[in-house]
Structure formats: C-alpha cells, structure tokens
C-alpha cells in the first residue's frame, strides 16, 4: 500500500502525539516507580495500534474506541485507582478531540462523520493540532495536586467525571445536528472546553484541599503525641527531683532495715520507692522525639485496652525521615494493630521492632487478629461502613515509604498480622 504525503505526515506527527500523551499522563500520575522498559514498549504499542487503525480503517468512531481502550491500558503503567484512570482518559480524549475539531473547522473542514471514513487531509491542520495539544499539556502540567493520589470522595469524583463525559457526548451530537454554522460549532466546542478546563481546576483544588486536610490532621496527631511525651518527661523530672531530695532519708531507712535484718520490710520499702518513681510509664526513650512520642502515646492506649506491648527499639536521635512521614507510618500501623488486637479475646499483644543500621531503617509491627481479612488486588478492604475514610492506612504507608525507595511486605498467616518495612535513608 502506497502512502500519501498526508499519511506520512500523520505517522511522523503521531510520534510527537504519543509523546504528548505521555506528558499528559504525568499530569495525572506519579511516574517515579514506573518500570521504564515496560512503559516505553507500551507507548510504542499505542503508537503502532493507532497508526495501523488510522491507515487501514480511518473511521472516527473506531479510532475513538481504540484510543480510549489503549489510553486506559497506558494508565496501568502507573499506580492509581480505576476511577482516576477513567477520569484521566476521558479528560485527555475530550481535550484532544476538541482541539482536533476546532483546528479542522478553522481549516475549512466541516464534515466529521462518525461511522464512515474520514477524508480530512490538511497537513497544516494536522501539524497545528499536534502543536496546540502539546502546548495545552504544558499548561495542564501546572496543576500539581492531581497526581498526589489523594482519595477523592465518590460524590466529588462523580460530579467531576460527568462534566467531561457529558461534554464528549454533546460534542458528538453537534455533528449529527443540521443547520449549524461553522462559527456556532466552534463557539460550542470552545465553551465546552472552557467548562472542562474549569472542572480540571476544580479537581486540582479538591485534591489540594484533601491534601491540606490530611496534613492538618497529621499535625494535630503529632501535637497529641508531643503533649503526651512532654507530660511523661515532666512527670519523670518531678519524680527524679523528689527522689533526689529524699535520697538521704531513703538510704538511711533502707540501711536501718537491712541492719535489723528486716528482709520483707526492706523489699517492700524499695518496691514503694520504685512505684512512686514511675507513675507514668515511659515505653520508648531513644531520644528521637517523634518516634518516642508516637510509641508512648499509642502503647499507653494499647495497655489501657488490655493489650500487652513489647518494644525492640534501637535508632539514633536523627533518622532523616520527616515528622509527617513518620507519623503516617507509625501512626497508621499502630492504629491498625490496636484495633485488630482489641478484638482478640485471648492474649492480645503488639510487638514492635524498630532498628537502624548503616542507612537502613527496619520496622516490624506484629499482632494477632480475629475473623477473616478481605484482600482485593493486593489491598486490604476495610470492614467499616465508612469506606471513604477507612481502609486506606496501609496504602498511605506504602506511598510514604516509596519516597525513601523502601519496601513493605505484609504477612497474615495463623491469625498473626505482620507488616515489615525496610527504608533506605541518606
């Protein structure tokens, strides 16, 4: 089959168009942990599929379906939810289609058939479409909050999704309507594009608001931990002062009891001193304020619920992990462990190991659990009614440790739930 000049230009510019698609994906998704070779091959596959369909079929409805399916396939290079994948593809395709229609109309082409072969052949229009699409992607890259991965509530997501989906449908209907002038169609498409740009801004704003709300909640949690740690330090200091003040009298009393061979009374006296010495138990005292604060706060809650706690802690004062990140990791893991252990009738416990060695931070939290765990696609599904705000603890932890090139493994054999994390710190 001999290709025309327009078809050769289409193939060449489609390489640039594929790169534009990649740039658009970076607006919605984090690319840091992507398998680069698989990603490259998938985009080559996308280019080949679209080019072959265009050259052999070139029917708009077929191209649209092929584009949507292959674009959804490309989103699986990146970690995300299915809802976000669908929203990204619908937004993306709507923008590309709107630009293509506007360029086509401006270059004098008004016949956009859906179910028959398209005979558009303006090389200038094709090149203009590619350039304008790329410029728009650069504009959309300024929206920094969308790719953060916050879980947008279903009600917000549905409202935002309906805008591009409805716009796409109405634009398709425009070309089935009769009696409309080119200027009316262009104005309609531009207005739909403006509405969707506003929806895109709204989505970015919602993502930013959710992120800010999450950080605010974490700061409040940290304040609770810090206040608890301050109380423990004050109590320890006051007790130490009192013991020092009375040390001479205590030693004299103990000496008298020992000389009198009053073994039982001596032991009871020492026991009373030790009891008075630590009315508030300090579980962790590594010197790392945030780690000590979280563990002391959470372990006290666990002990109040009748859960036995054990701690193996060996870390320096400075770890190189931000306080927000440590709050997310330790706070979520200990919250999950406390909740699960509190439902165990016999011997509830929580074991925590946290050790640092040569730039590596090892963390393990283990606890028993009752009943069955629900796991779907590698994720644990909450049994709570409020699924929008629960069941995301481990996912939050996973996202944080990726920042430190870390790994997380989960094991739940013999009704023991164990999370092991390894992080590489500078």
CATH number of the domain within which 345 lies: 3.30.565.10
Confidence of residue 281 (pLDDT cuts 50, 70, 90): low
Structural domain contains residue 244: no
Position 230 confidence tier, pLDDT thresholds 50, 70, 90: low
Alpha-carbon dihedral angle through residues 321, 411, 32, 199, given to the nearest 10 degrees: -100
Q: What is the pLDDT of residues 212-228, one digit of tens each?
A: 776 677 667 666 666 66
**Can you list the alpha helix ranges (DSSP code H) found in 57-122?**
60-75, 82-106
Does residue 199 share a domain with residue 117? yes
Specify if 280 maps to a domain.
no
pLDDT in tens, 366-379: 999 887 766 654 55
Q: What is the largest CA-CA distance in the chain?
A: 115
- Structural domain ending residue among the three candidates 215, 230, 247: 215
Indicate the range of 155-159, 312-316, 379-383, 396-400 predicted with least confidence.
379-383
Distances (CA, A) of 363 to 307, 336, 353: 20, 15, 6
Query: Within a domain: residue 269?
Result: no
Band of residue 82 on the pLDDT scale cut at 50, 70, 90: confident
- Which residue carries 């094991």 as its tokens? 411
Above pLDDT 90, what percent of the chain?
19
Query: Same domain, yes or no, for 422 and 302?
Result: yes
Give the residue among 129, 31, 28 at the shortest CA–CA distance from 81: 28
- Residue 146 is given by DSSP the state G
pTM: 0.55
Looking at the structure of the chain, the number of domains it has is: 2
Q: Are residues 196 and 345 in the same domain?
A: no
Handedness of CA 302, 303, 306, 311 (dihedral sign): positive
**What's the CA gap between 380 and 393, in Å, rounded?**
9
Residue 236 lies in a domain: no
Co-location of 291 and 419 in the same domain = yes
Same domain, 75 and 203: yes
Residues 20, 160 within the same domain: yes
Residue 32 lies in a domain: yes
Q: Please answer whether residues 160 and 87 qualify as being in contact, where contact means their C-beta atoms are separated by less than 8 angstroms.
A: yes
Model pLDDT for residues 317-347, shown as the tens digit of each residue: 888 888 778 888 888 899 889 988 998 888 8
Same domain, residue pair 209 and 290: no
- pLDDT of 388 > 50? The answer is no
| Domain finish residue from 184, 215, 246 | 215
Which residue, 170, 188, 215, sits at the end of a domain?
Answer: 215
Domain limits for position 34: 5-215
Q: How far apart are CA 50 and CA 68, in angstroms?
A: 11
Q: Judge contact between 74 and 49, C-beta under 8 A.
A: no
Q: Please tell me which residue, 259 or 379, carries the higher pLDDT value.
A: 259
Range 74-86 average pLDDT = 86
| In a shared domain, residues 297 and 410 | yes
Instruction: Tell me: do 210 and 295 sit in the same domain.
Output: no
- Asked whether residue 197 falls in the same domain as residue 302, the answer is no
Q: Are residues 142 and 36 in the same domain?
A: yes
Give the pLDDT of residue 148. Answer: 61
- HSE-up of 236 (CA within 13 Å, CB side)? 10
pLDDT > 80? residue 310: yes
pLDDT at 420: 94
Query: Is residue 253, in this structure, part of any structural domain at all?
Result: no
* Interval 150-193: pLDDT, tens: 566 677 777 777 888 888 788 777 766 667 777 877 788 788 87
On whether both 49 and 197 belong to a single domain, the answer is yes
Q: For residue 264, what pLDDT is reported?
A: 84
């Amino acid at each position: 089959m001999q290709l025309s000049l327009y078809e050769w230009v289409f193939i060449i510019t489609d390489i640039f168009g594929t790169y534009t698609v990649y740039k658009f994906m970076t607006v919605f998704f984090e690319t840091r942990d992507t398998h680069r070779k698989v990603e490259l091959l998938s985009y080559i596959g996308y280019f080949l599929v679209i080019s072959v369909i265009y050259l052999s079929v070139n029917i708009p409805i077929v191209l649209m379906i092929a584009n949507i399916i292959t674009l959804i396939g490309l989103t699986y290079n990146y970690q995300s939810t299915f809802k976000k994948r669908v929203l990204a593809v619908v937004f993306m395709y709507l923008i590309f289609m709107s630009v293509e229609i506007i360029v086509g109309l401006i270059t004098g082409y008004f016949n956009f058939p859906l179910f028959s072969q398209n005979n558009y052949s303006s090389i200038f229009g094709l090149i203009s479409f590619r350039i304008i699409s790329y410029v728009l992607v650069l504009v959309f890259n300024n929206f920094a909050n969308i790719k953060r991965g916050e879980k947008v509530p279903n009600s917000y997501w549905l409202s935002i999704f309906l805008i591009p989906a409805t716009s796409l449908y109405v634009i398709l209907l425009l070309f089935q309507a009769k009696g409309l002038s080119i200027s009316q169609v262009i104005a309609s498409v531009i207005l739909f594009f403006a509405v969707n740009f506003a929806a895109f801004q709204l989505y970015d704003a919602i993502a930013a608001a959710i992120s800010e709300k999450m950080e605010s909640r974490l700061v409040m949690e940290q304040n609770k931990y810090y206040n608890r740690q301050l109380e423990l330090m004050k109590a320890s200091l006051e007790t130490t002062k009192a013991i020092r003040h009375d040390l001479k009298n205590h030693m004299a009393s103990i000496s008298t009891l020992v000389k009198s061979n009053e073994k039982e009374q001596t032991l009871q006296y020492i026991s009373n001193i030790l009891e008075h010495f630590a009315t508030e138990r300090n579980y962790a005292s590594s010197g790392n304020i945030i780690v000590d604060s979280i563990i002391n706060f959470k372990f006290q809650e666990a002990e109040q619920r009748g859960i036995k706690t054990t701690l193996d802690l060996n870390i320096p004062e400075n770890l190189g992990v931000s306080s927000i990140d440590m709050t997310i990791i330790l706070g979520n893991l200990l919250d999950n462990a406390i909740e699960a252990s509190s439902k165990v009738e016999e011997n509830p416990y929580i074991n925590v190991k946290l050790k640092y060695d040569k730039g590596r931070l090892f963390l393990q939290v283990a606890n028993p659990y009752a009943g069955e765990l629900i796991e779907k696609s590698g994720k644990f599904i909450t049994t709570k009614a409020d699924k929008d705000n629960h069941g995301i603890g481990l996912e939050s932890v996973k996202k944080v440790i990726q920042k430190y090139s870390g790994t997380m493994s989960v094991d739940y054999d013999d009704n023991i739930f164990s999370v092991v994390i390894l992080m590489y710190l500078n």
